Structure 1
Protein backbone atom coordinates (compact mmCIF):
# COMPACT_ATOMS: atom_id res chain seq x y z
CA UNK A 1 0.00 0.00 0.00
CA UNK A 2 1.32 3.43 -0.98
CA UNK A 3 -0.08 6.76 0.13
CA UNK A 4 0.40 8.92 -2.97
CA UNK A 5 -1.40 12.02 -1.68
CA UNK A 6 -3.63 12.96 1.26
CA UNK A 7 -6.62 10.63 1.24
CA UNK A 8 -5.37 8.59 -1.75
CA UNK A 9 -4.07 5.08 -1.04
CA UNK A 10 -2.82 2.92 -3.91
CA UNK A 11 -2.90 -0.85 -3.40
CA UNK A 12 -0.83 -3.19 -5.55
CA UNK A 13 -2.71 -6.44 -5.17
CA UNK A 14 -1.42 -9.94 -5.91
CA UNK A 15 -2.31 -9.58 -9.61
CA UNK A 16 -4.53 -6.50 -9.94
CA UNK A 17 -4.66 -3.10 -8.26
CA UNK A 18 -7.16 -0.68 -6.76
CA UNK A 19 -7.15 2.82 -5.29
CA UNK A 20 -8.78 3.84 -2.01
CA UNK A 21 -10.02 7.42 -1.65
CA UNK A 22 -10.86 8.38 1.93
CA UNK A 23 -11.92 11.48 3.80
CA UNK A 24 -14.88 13.14 5.49
CA UNK A 25 -15.79 9.78 7.00
CA UNK A 26 -16.27 8.18 3.58
CA UNK A 27 -14.45 5.69 1.36
CA UNK A 28 -14.69 5.33 -2.41
CA UNK A 29 -12.76 2.84 -4.53
CA UNK A 30 -11.54 2.90 -8.08
CA UNK A 31 -11.63 -0.78 -9.08
CA UNK A 32 -11.42 -3.52 -6.46
CA UNK A 33 -9.17 -6.31 -7.69
CA UNK A 34 -10.26 -9.90 -8.22
CA UNK A 35 -13.19 -11.42 -6.29
CA UNK A 36 -10.69 -13.32 -4.14
CA UNK A 37 -9.03 -10.03 -3.19
CA UNK A 38 -11.97 -8.96 -1.06
CA UNK A 39 -10.19 -9.53 2.30
CA UNK A 40 -7.27 -7.43 1.03
CA UNK A 41 -9.65 -4.71 -0.16
CA UNK A 42 -11.21 -4.56 3.28
CA UNK A 43 -7.78 -4.59 4.91
CA UNK A 44 -6.79 -1.59 2.79
CA UNK A 45 -9.96 0.25 3.82
CA UNK A 46 -9.16 -0.49 7.46
CA UNK A 47 -5.69 0.99 6.92
CA UNK A 48 -7.35 4.38 6.40
CA UNK A 49 -8.86 4.22 9.87
CA UNK A 50 -12.36 3.64 8.51
CA UNK A 51 -14.48 0.52 8.26
CA UNK A 52 -16.15 -1.18 5.30
CA UNK A 53 -19.41 0.48 6.33
CA UNK A 54 -17.86 3.77 5.15
CA UNK A 55 -17.63 2.45 1.57
CA UNK A 56 -20.24 4.32 -0.46
CA UNK A 57 -19.19 3.89 -4.10
CA UNK A 58 -17.00 1.84 -6.42
CA UNK A 59 -15.88 3.51 -9.62
CA UNK A 60 -14.71 0.98 -12.23
CA UNK A 61 -12.36 1.63 -15.10
CA UNK A 62 -13.83 -1.30 -17.05
CA UNK A 63 -15.85 -4.45 -16.64
CA UNK A 64 -13.23 -7.19 -16.44
CA UNK A 65 -13.36 -9.56 -13.49
CA UNK A 66 -9.96 -8.46 -12.16
CA UNK A 67 -11.28 -4.92 -11.69
CA UNK A 68 -14.89 -5.60 -10.68
CA UNK A 69 -13.90 -7.98 -7.90
CA UNK A 70 -16.55 -8.15 -5.19
CA UNK A 71 -18.42 -5.08 -6.46
CA UNK A 72 -21.57 -7.09 -7.16
CA UNK A 73 -21.73 -8.39 -3.60
CA UNK A 74 -21.08 -4.95 -2.12
CA UNK A 75 -23.84 -3.60 -4.35
CA UNK A 76 -26.43 -6.26 -3.56
CA UNK A 77 -25.71 -6.76 0.13
CA UNK A 78 -24.68 -3.30 1.27
CA UNK A 79 -26.19 -0.95 -1.29
CA UNK A 80 -22.79 0.35 -2.43
CA UNK A 81 -23.15 2.32 -5.66
CA UNK A 82 -21.17 0.98 -8.63
CA UNK A 83 -20.54 3.33 -11.55
CA UNK A 84 -18.75 3.20 -14.90
CA UNK A 85 -18.58 5.19 -18.11
CA UNK A 86 -21.83 4.87 -20.10
CA UNK A 87 -20.20 2.92 -22.93
CA UNK A 88 -18.86 0.36 -20.47
CA UNK A 89 -22.14 -0.42 -18.70
CA UNK A 90 -23.10 -3.37 -20.96
CA UNK A 91 -19.79 -5.04 -20.11
CA UNK A 92 -20.05 -4.24 -16.38
CA UNK A 93 -23.64 -5.53 -16.25
CA UNK A 94 -22.69 -8.59 -18.36
CA UNK A 95 -25.20 -7.76 -21.06
CA UNK A 96 -22.21 -8.53 -23.26
CA UNK A 97 -18.69 -9.71 -22.51
CA UNK A 98 -15.50 -8.18 -23.83
CA UNK A 99 -12.86 -10.34 -22.20
CA UNK A 100 -9.88 -12.36 -23.36
CA UNK A 101 -10.88 -15.93 -24.29
CA UNK A 102 -9.20 -19.31 -23.96
CA UNK A 103 -8.53 -19.22 -27.71
CA UNK A 104 -6.74 -15.89 -27.32
CA UNK A 105 -4.46 -17.40 -24.68
CA UNK A 106 -3.47 -20.51 -26.62
CA UNK A 107 -0.31 -18.99 -28.18
CA UNK A 108 1.05 -18.18 -24.71
CA UNK A 109 -0.57 -21.00 -22.74
CA UNK A 110 2.75 -22.56 -21.76
CA UNK A 111 4.29 -19.31 -20.64
CA UNK A 112 4.94 -19.07 -16.91
CA UNK A 113 2.06 -17.34 -15.15
CA UNK A 114 -0.54 -17.80 -17.89
CA UNK A 115 -2.52 -20.68 -16.37
CA UNK A 116 -2.66 -19.26 -12.80
CA UNK A 117 -3.73 -15.91 -14.21
CA UNK A 118 -6.44 -17.47 -16.39
CA UNK A 119 -7.84 -19.53 -13.51
CA UNK A 120 -8.05 -16.50 -11.23
CA UNK A 121 -9.82 -14.47 -13.92
CA UNK A 122 -12.75 -16.89 -14.25
CA UNK A 123 -16.02 -15.91 -12.62
CA UNK A 124 -19.34 -14.19 -13.18
CA UNK A 125 -18.89 -10.87 -11.42
CA UNK A 126 -21.20 -8.65 -13.47
CA UNK A 127 -23.01 -5.91 -11.57
CA UNK A 128 -26.59 -5.62 -12.90
CA UNK A 129 -27.30 -2.51 -10.82
CA UNK A 130 -24.27 -0.55 -12.09
CA UNK A 131 -25.05 3.01 -13.15
CA UNK A 132 -23.56 5.40 -15.69
CA UNK A 133 -21.19 8.22 -14.83
CA UNK A 134 -23.04 11.24 -16.18
CA UNK A 135 -20.54 14.05 -15.53
CA UNK A 136 -17.13 14.92 -16.92
CA UNK A 137 -15.89 15.40 -13.36
CA UNK A 138 -16.91 12.98 -10.64
CA UNK A 139 -17.20 14.65 -7.23
CA UNK A 140 -16.32 12.09 -4.56
CA UNK A 141 -17.84 12.07 -1.10
CA UNK A 142 -14.27 12.08 0.25
CA UNK A 143 -13.62 15.59 -1.07
CA UNK A 144 -11.61 14.48 -4.10
CA UNK A 145 -12.46 15.07 -7.76
CA UNK A 146 -11.97 12.67 -10.65
CA UNK A 147 -11.84 13.93 -14.21
CA UNK A 148 -13.26 11.20 -16.47
CA UNK A 149 -10.97 10.40 -19.41
CA UNK A 150 -12.55 8.13 -22.06
CA UNK A 151 -9.91 5.64 -23.21
CA UNK A 152 -11.65 3.12 -25.49
CA UNK A 153 -9.74 0.18 -26.86
CA UNK A 154 -9.03 -2.27 -24.06
CA UNK A 155 -12.82 -2.39 -23.84
CA UNK A 156 -15.39 -0.27 -25.65
CA UNK A 157 -16.08 2.03 -22.72
CA UNK A 158 -12.81 1.86 -20.76
CA UNK A 159 -12.16 5.06 -18.80
CA UNK A 160 -9.23 6.47 -16.86
CA UNK A 161 -9.47 9.00 -14.06
CA UNK A 162 -7.34 12.04 -13.19
CA UNK A 163 -7.33 13.67 -9.76
CA UNK A 164 -6.13 17.19 -10.61
CA UNK A 165 -5.24 18.48 -7.14
CA UNK A 166 -2.82 15.61 -6.49
CA UNK A 167 -1.99 15.14 -10.20
CA UNK A 168 -2.79 11.43 -9.94
CA UNK A 169 -3.69 9.46 -13.06
CA UNK A 170 -5.49 6.11 -12.65
CA UNK A 171 -5.04 4.17 -15.88
CA UNK A 172 -6.85 0.86 -15.42
CA UNK A 173 -5.61 -1.34 -18.27
CA UNK A 174 -5.03 1.46 -20.78
CA UNK A 175 -1.45 1.58 -19.50
CA UNK A 176 0.20 -0.78 -17.02
CA UNK A 177 3.61 -1.06 -15.39
CA UNK A 178 3.69 -4.85 -15.13
CA UNK A 179 1.69 -8.05 -15.62
CA UNK A 180 2.20 -11.80 -15.35
CA UNK A 181 2.34 -12.01 -19.15
CA UNK A 182 4.78 -9.11 -19.65
CA UNK A 183 8.55 -9.41 -19.45
CA UNK A 184 9.28 -5.94 -18.10
CA UNK A 185 8.07 -4.29 -14.92
CA UNK A 186 8.39 -0.77 -13.68
CA UNK A 187 7.76 1.15 -16.89
CA UNK A 188 4.55 2.28 -18.55
CA UNK A 189 3.50 -0.02 -21.36
CA UNK A 190 0.48 -1.62 -22.97
CA UNK A 191 -0.80 -5.10 -22.36
CA UNK A 192 -0.32 -7.60 -25.20
CA UNK A 193 -2.63 -6.87 -28.13
CA UNK A 194 -4.81 -9.95 -27.61
CA UNK A 195 -6.04 -8.48 -24.32
CA UNK A 196 -7.68 -5.56 -26.12
CA UNK A 197 -11.11 -5.50 -27.71
CA UNK A 198 -9.73 -2.96 -30.20
CA UNK A 199 -5.92 -2.98 -30.25
CA UNK A 200 -5.63 0.06 -32.53
CA UNK A 201 -8.02 2.03 -30.35
CA UNK A 202 -6.10 0.99 -27.24
CA UNK A 203 -2.85 2.23 -28.78
CA UNK A 204 -4.45 5.58 -29.64
CA UNK A 205 -5.80 5.94 -26.09
CA UNK A 206 -2.37 5.14 -24.64
CA UNK A 207 -0.82 7.88 -26.77
CA UNK A 208 -3.37 10.41 -25.54
CA UNK A 209 -2.67 9.46 -21.93
CA UNK A 210 1.02 10.19 -22.45
CA UNK A 211 0.06 13.86 -22.78
CA UNK A 212 -1.51 13.96 -19.32
CA UNK A 213 0.57 16.00 -16.86
CA UNK A 214 0.59 13.55 -13.96
CA UNK A 215 2.82 13.33 -10.92
CA UNK A 216 1.71 9.79 -10.12
CA UNK A 217 0.46 7.04 -12.43
CA UNK A 218 -1.57 4.30 -10.75
CA UNK A 219 -1.98 1.39 -13.19
CA UNK A 220 -4.34 -1.56 -13.05
CA UNK A 221 -1.36 -3.92 -12.99
CA UNK A 222 2.17 -3.35 -11.74
CA UNK A 223 3.62 -0.83 -9.30
CA UNK A 224 2.68 2.81 -8.97
CA UNK A 225 5.02 5.14 -10.82
CA UNK A 226 6.08 8.59 -9.65
CA UNK A 227 7.01 10.68 -12.66
CA UNK A 228 9.87 13.11 -12.18
CA UNK A 229 8.46 15.42 -14.82
CA UNK A 230 4.98 15.53 -13.26
Structure 2
Protein backbone atom coordinates (compact mmCIF):
# COMPACT_ATOMS: atom_id res chain seq x y z
CA UNK A 1 0.00 0.00 0.00
CA UNK A 2 2.92 2.40 0.58
CA UNK A 3 3.39 3.83 -2.89
CA UNK A 4 5.88 6.55 -1.89
CA UNK A 5 7.55 7.72 1.32
CA UNK A 6 4.75 7.72 3.91
CA UNK A 7 2.02 7.87 1.26
CA UNK A 8 -0.40 4.97 0.94
CA UNK A 9 -2.45 4.15 -2.15
CA UNK A 10 -5.70 2.21 -2.40
CA UNK A 11 -6.55 0.17 -5.48
CA UNK A 12 -9.94 1.29 -6.79
CA UNK A 13 -9.36 0.80 -10.49
CA UNK A 14 -8.88 4.07 -12.37
CA UNK A 15 -9.73 6.19 -9.33
CA UNK A 16 -6.78 7.04 -7.07
CA UNK A 17 -6.87 8.40 -3.54
CA UNK A 18 -4.19 8.49 -0.89
CA UNK A 19 -3.38 8.58 2.81
CA UNK A 20 -0.41 10.67 3.93
CA UNK A 21 1.10 9.42 7.19
CA UNK A 22 3.18 11.48 9.60
CA UNK A 23 4.05 10.27 13.10
CA UNK A 24 1.00 8.01 13.16
CA UNK A 25 -1.36 10.77 12.07
CA UNK A 26 -3.14 10.71 8.70
CA UNK A 27 -4.35 13.05 5.98
CA UNK A 28 -6.82 11.65 3.45
CA UNK A 29 -6.34 13.05 -0.05
CA UNK A 30 -9.44 12.56 -2.21
CA UNK A 31 -12.03 9.91 -1.49
CA UNK A 32 -13.06 7.96 -4.60
CA UNK A 33 -16.77 7.11 -4.75
CA UNK A 34 -19.02 6.28 -1.76
CA UNK A 35 -18.68 2.55 -2.46
CA UNK A 36 -14.94 2.78 -1.87
CA UNK A 37 -15.52 3.44 1.83
CA UNK A 38 -15.14 -0.27 2.59
CA UNK A 39 -11.73 -0.24 0.85
CA UNK A 40 -10.77 2.75 3.00
CA UNK A 41 -11.79 0.97 6.21
CA UNK A 42 -9.94 -2.21 5.25
CA UNK A 43 -6.87 -0.14 4.40
CA UNK A 44 -6.90 1.52 7.80
CA UNK A 45 -7.02 -1.91 9.44
CA UNK A 46 -4.06 -3.12 7.38
CA UNK A 47 -2.11 -0.06 8.51
CA UNK A 48 -3.08 -0.67 12.14
CA UNK A 49 -5.03 2.59 12.13
CA UNK A 50 -8.60 3.73 12.63
CA UNK A 51 -10.72 6.73 11.69
CA UNK A 52 -9.58 8.52 14.85
CA UNK A 53 -6.15 8.88 13.24
CA UNK A 54 -7.55 10.99 10.38
CA UNK A 55 -6.79 14.66 11.06
CA UNK A 56 -7.60 16.22 7.69
CA UNK A 57 -9.26 15.56 4.34
CA UNK A 58 -8.01 17.39 1.25
CA UNK A 59 -9.79 17.34 -2.09
CA UNK A 60 -7.73 18.07 -5.18
CA UNK A 61 -10.97 19.18 -6.83
CA UNK A 62 -14.72 18.82 -6.47
CA UNK A 63 -15.61 16.10 -8.96
CA UNK A 64 -17.70 13.21 -7.67
CA UNK A 65 -14.90 10.65 -8.16
CA UNK A 66 -12.79 12.59 -5.66
CA UNK A 67 -15.47 13.64 -3.15
CA UNK A 68 -16.83 10.11 -2.68
CA UNK A 69 -16.95 9.14 0.99
CA UNK A 70 -15.39 12.40 2.26
CA UNK A 71 -18.57 13.59 3.96
CA UNK A 72 -18.95 10.25 5.77
CA UNK A 73 -15.38 10.47 7.08
CA UNK A 74 -15.86 14.13 8.03
CA UNK A 75 -18.89 13.25 10.14
CA UNK A 76 -17.14 10.28 11.74
CA UNK A 77 -13.92 12.08 12.61
CA UNK A 78 -14.70 15.79 12.76
CA UNK A 79 -11.69 16.29 10.48
CA UNK A 80 -11.87 19.42 8.33
CA UNK A 81 -12.36 19.03 4.58
CA UNK A 82 -10.08 21.36 2.62
CA UNK A 83 -10.86 22.46 -0.93
CA UNK A 84 -9.72 25.42 -3.00
CA UNK A 85 -12.09 28.38 -2.88
CA UNK A 86 -12.67 28.03 -6.62
CA UNK A 87 -14.36 24.65 -6.06
CA UNK A 88 -15.96 25.26 -2.66
CA UNK A 89 -19.50 25.78 -3.97
CA UNK A 90 -19.21 22.87 -6.39
CA UNK A 91 -18.05 20.57 -3.59
CA UNK A 92 -21.35 21.15 -1.81
CA UNK A 93 -23.45 20.13 -4.82
CA UNK A 94 -24.21 16.56 -5.96
CA UNK A 95 -23.29 14.86 -9.26
CA UNK A 96 -20.40 17.11 -10.24
CA UNK A 97 -18.60 15.44 -13.16
CA UNK A 98 -17.78 16.38 -16.78
CA UNK A 99 -20.93 14.55 -17.84
CA UNK A 100 -21.00 15.69 -21.48
CA UNK A 101 -17.48 14.46 -22.07
CA UNK A 102 -18.15 11.13 -20.36
CA UNK A 103 -21.56 10.37 -21.83
CA UNK A 104 -20.59 11.43 -25.34
CA UNK A 105 -17.80 8.85 -25.12
CA UNK A 106 -19.85 6.10 -23.51
CA UNK A 107 -19.54 4.14 -26.77
CA UNK A 108 -15.90 3.56 -25.85
CA UNK A 109 -15.35 0.29 -23.99
CA UNK A 110 -13.18 1.82 -21.29
CA UNK A 111 -15.34 4.88 -20.68
CA UNK A 112 -18.46 2.69 -20.45
CA UNK A 113 -16.69 0.45 -17.94
CA UNK A 114 -15.60 3.47 -15.90
CA UNK A 115 -19.16 4.82 -15.84
CA UNK A 116 -20.35 1.38 -14.71
CA UNK A 117 -17.88 1.42 -11.82
CA UNK A 118 -19.12 4.89 -10.87
CA UNK A 119 -22.76 3.77 -10.83
CA UNK A 120 -22.08 0.56 -8.87
CA UNK A 121 -20.10 2.58 -6.32
CA UNK A 122 -22.83 5.12 -5.67
CA UNK A 123 -22.24 8.15 -7.87
CA UNK A 124 -25.99 8.87 -7.94
CA UNK A 125 -26.38 8.58 -4.17
CA UNK A 126 -23.21 10.45 -3.28
CA UNK A 127 -23.72 12.66 -0.20
CA UNK A 128 -22.52 16.16 -1.02
CA UNK A 129 -20.34 17.94 1.48
CA UNK A 130 -22.07 20.13 4.02
CA UNK A 131 -19.01 21.87 5.42
CA UNK A 132 -15.65 22.76 3.85
CA UNK A 133 -12.66 24.96 4.62
CA UNK A 134 -11.03 26.78 1.74
CA UNK A 135 -7.34 26.90 0.85
CA UNK A 136 -5.36 29.18 -1.43
CA UNK A 137 -2.33 29.00 -3.66
CA UNK A 138 0.99 28.71 -1.83
CA UNK A 139 -0.61 27.87 1.50
CA UNK A 140 1.26 25.38 3.69
CA UNK A 141 -1.32 23.32 5.55
CA UNK A 142 -0.52 22.40 9.13
CA UNK A 143 -1.79 18.84 8.76
CA UNK A 144 0.02 15.49 8.49
CA UNK A 145 2.44 15.70 5.57
CA UNK A 146 2.43 19.51 5.63
CA UNK A 147 1.43 19.77 1.96
CA UNK A 148 1.93 22.99 0.05
CA UNK A 149 -1.11 23.99 -2.01
CA UNK A 150 -0.48 24.67 -5.69
CA UNK A 151 -3.51 26.14 -7.46
CA UNK A 152 -3.59 24.69 -10.98
CA UNK A 153 -6.94 25.66 -12.52
CA UNK A 154 -8.23 24.23 -15.77
CA UNK A 155 -9.67 20.79 -15.11
CA UNK A 156 -11.88 22.69 -12.65
CA UNK A 157 -11.60 26.27 -11.43
CA UNK A 158 -10.33 25.10 -8.06
CA UNK A 159 -8.06 22.24 -9.11
CA UNK A 160 -5.00 21.93 -6.87
CA UNK A 161 -1.87 19.82 -6.59
CA UNK A 162 -0.16 19.05 -3.28
CA UNK A 163 3.60 19.30 -2.90
CA UNK A 164 5.24 17.40 -0.04
CA UNK A 165 8.54 19.23 -0.34
CA UNK A 166 10.53 17.28 2.24
CA UNK A 167 9.53 13.96 0.65
CA UNK A 168 9.85 15.10 -2.98
CA UNK A 169 6.30 13.95 -3.71
CA UNK A 170 3.71 15.72 -5.83
CA UNK A 171 0.09 14.58 -5.54
CA UNK A 172 -1.14 16.06 -8.79
CA UNK A 173 -4.86 15.29 -8.75
CA UNK A 174 -6.19 15.69 -12.28
CA UNK A 175 -3.82 18.55 -13.13
CA UNK A 176 -1.56 16.03 -14.83
CA UNK A 177 -2.26 12.29 -14.96
CA UNK A 178 -0.77 9.11 -16.43
CA UNK A 179 -3.94 7.37 -17.64
CA UNK A 180 -6.06 8.26 -20.65
CA UNK A 181 -9.59 8.33 -19.25
CA UNK A 182 -11.19 7.63 -22.63
CA UNK A 183 -9.07 4.65 -23.68
CA UNK A 184 -7.72 3.43 -20.34
CA UNK A 185 -4.18 3.45 -21.69
CA UNK A 186 -1.47 3.89 -19.06
CA UNK A 187 1.70 5.73 -19.90
CA UNK A 188 3.43 9.05 -19.74
CA UNK A 189 2.35 12.31 -18.09
CA UNK A 190 -0.61 13.88 -19.86
CA UNK A 191 -3.51 16.26 -19.47
CA UNK A 192 -6.96 14.77 -19.22
CA UNK A 193 -8.73 14.87 -22.57
CA UNK A 194 -9.94 18.35 -23.61
CA UNK A 195 -13.58 17.28 -23.42
CA UNK A 196 -13.13 16.39 -19.73
CA UNK A 197 -11.70 19.78 -18.76
CA UNK A 198 -13.62 22.88 -17.75
CA UNK A 199 -11.02 25.07 -19.48
CA UNK A 200 -8.44 23.11 -21.47
CA UNK A 201 -6.31 26.11 -22.45
CA UNK A 202 -6.09 27.13 -18.80
CA UNK A 203 -5.19 23.55 -17.87
CA UNK A 204 -2.31 23.71 -20.33
CA UNK A 205 -1.12 27.04 -18.90
CA UNK A 206 -1.29 25.69 -15.35
CA UNK A 207 1.30 23.05 -16.18
CA UNK A 208 3.92 25.78 -16.31
CA UNK A 209 3.39 26.27 -12.56
CA UNK A 210 4.90 22.82 -12.02
CA UNK A 211 8.08 23.21 -14.08
CA UNK A 212 10.37 24.42 -11.29
CA UNK A 213 9.44 21.77 -8.73
CA UNK A 214 12.33 19.52 -9.76
CA UNK A 215 12.70 15.78 -9.26
CA UNK A 216 9.67 14.16 -7.62
CA UNK A 217 7.50 11.11 -7.41
CA UNK A 218 4.27 12.22 -9.06
CA UNK A 219 1.07 10.58 -7.81
CA UNK A 220 -1.93 11.47 -9.93
CA UNK A 221 -5.67 11.13 -9.62
CA UNK A 222 -5.69 8.59 -12.44
CA UNK A 223 -2.82 6.33 -13.45
CA UNK A 224 0.41 4.99 -12.02
CA UNK A 225 3.28 6.88 -10.33
CA UNK A 226 5.79 8.74 -12.46
CA UNK A 227 9.29 9.57 -11.21
CA UNK A 228 11.37 12.31 -12.77
CA UNK A 229 11.84 16.04 -13.22
CA UNK A 230 8.57 17.92 -13.46
CA UNK A 231 9.90 20.12 -16.24
CA UNK A 232 10.24 16.95 -18.30
CA UNK A 233 6.78 15.78 -17.23
CA UNK A 234 5.26 19.07 -18.39
CA UNK A 235 7.05 18.88 -21.74
CA UNK A 236 5.82 15.32 -22.27
CA UNK A 237 2.25 16.27 -21.33
CA UNK A 238 2.21 19.27 -23.69
CA UNK A 239 3.64 17.17 -26.51
CA UNK A 240 0.94 14.57 -25.88
CA UNK A 241 -1.69 17.32 -25.96
CA UNK A 242 -0.67 18.20 -29.53
CA UNK A 243 -1.46 14.65 -30.60
CA UNK A 244 -4.76 14.77 -28.69
CA UNK A 245 -5.77 17.90 -30.53
TM-score, structure 1 as length reference: 0.87
1:220, distance to aligned residue in structure 2 (A): 0.2
Q: Separation in 2 of the partners of 1:212 and 1:203?
A: 17
Structure with a larger share of its residues in helix: 2
Query: Is the contact made by 1:61 and 1:159 (CA closer than 8 Å) also made in structure 2?
Result: yes
CA distance 1:205–1:229, change in 2 (3 Å): closer
Q: Which residue of 2 aligns with 1:197?
A: 198
Q: Which residue of 1 aligns with 2:42?
A: 43
Q: Which residue of 2 aligns with 1:99?
A: 97
Q: Separation in 1 of the partners of 2:215 and 2:70?
A: 28
Q: Separation in 1 of the partners of 2:228 and 2:41?
A: 29
CA distance 1:228–1:12, change in 2 (3 Å): farther
RMSD: 2.3
CA distance 1:183–1:16, change in 2 (3 Å): closer
Q: Which residue of 2 aligns with 1:227?
A: 228
Unaligned runs of 5+ in 1: none
CA distance 1:180–1:201, change in 2 (3 Å): closer
> Does structure 1 residue 117 correspond to structure 2 residue 114?
yes
**Equivalences for residues 134-173 of structure 1 within 5 A:** 136-140=139-143, 142=144, 144-173=145-174
1:8, distance to aligned residue in structure 2 (A): 2.0
Q: Separation in 2 of the partners of 1:208 and 1:97?
A: 29
Deviation sequence 1:12-49 (CA, Å, 0-9, x none): 42121112112333211111212111111222233332
**Equivalences for residues 181-196 of structure 1 within 5 A:** 181-182=182-183, 184-196=185-197
Unaligned runs of 5+ in 2: 232-245
TM-score, structure 2 as length reference: 0.82
CA distance 1:214–1:91, change in 2 (3 Å): farther
CA distance 1:228–1:161, change in 2 (3 Å): closer
CA distance 1:191–1:229, change in 2 (3 Å): closer
Q: Which residue of 2 aligns with 1:128?
A: 130
Q: How many residues align?
A: 225
